[in-house]
């Protein structure tokens, strides 16, 4: 079974430029998460989707960040314009609602996109 796929793996941009990250979750997983991870810290949730609906975006800085999951499968996270402080790893994860019903939900992560803003 294929895992969570993310692209690109690395991205270097100059400040004020836009950037987009793409995520394809595990097949059949209807819950998708975007996290931000700063060096030496645990991940911080940015947004969670149930199918195509964003059910928790309270931590997403909406002035510059946006996300979409139009068909309830792939998702894109965008930053416009990027700032120096946005340099971090952006992780995508997915999980199954069926597992949550059993109380055994596990989030499976992609390899992440390491963003460097110069």
Binding-site ranges for other proteins (CB under 8 A) = 40-45, 48, 50, 55-56, 89, 91, 93, 100, 103-112, 114
3-state secondary structure of 50: strand
Gap between the Cα atoms of 90 and 100, Å rounded: 24
Which residue in 84, 97, 98, 96 sits closest to 38, CA to CA?
84
Least distance to other proteins from the beta carbon of 93, Å? 7
Least distance to other proteins from the beta carbon of 112, Å? 5
Least distance to other proteins from the beta carbon of 16, Å? 26
Interacting residues of 34 by C-beta distance below 8 A, sequence separation 6+:
21, 23, 45, 46, 47, 48, 67, 75, 77, 90, 91, 92
Q: Which residue number, 65 or 112, has a Cβ lying nearer to other proteins?
A: 112
Q: Which residue number, 19 or 107, has a Cβ lying nearer to other proteins?
A: 107
Q: Which residue number, 72 or 111, has a Cβ lying nearer to other proteins?
A: 111
Q: Which residues pair with 66 in a beta bridge?
A: 78
Q: Which residue number, 3 or 16, has a Cβ lying nearer to other proteins?
A: 3
């Amino acid at each position: 079974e294929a895992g969570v796929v993310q692209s690109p793996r690395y991205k270097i941009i100059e400040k004020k430029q836009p950037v987009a990250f793409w995520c394809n979750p595990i097949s059949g997983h209807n819950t998708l998460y975007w996290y931000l991870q700063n060096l030496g810290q645990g991940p911080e949730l940015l947004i969670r989707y149930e199918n195509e609906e964003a059910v928790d975006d309270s931590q997403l800085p909406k002035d510059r960040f946006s996300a979409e999951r139009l068909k309830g499968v792939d998702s894109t996270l965008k930053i416009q314009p990027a700032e120096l402080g946005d340099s971090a790893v952006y992780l995508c994860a997915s999980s199954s609602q069926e597992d949550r019903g059993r109380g055994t939900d596990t989030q499976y992560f992609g390899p992440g996109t390491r963003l460097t803003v110069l």
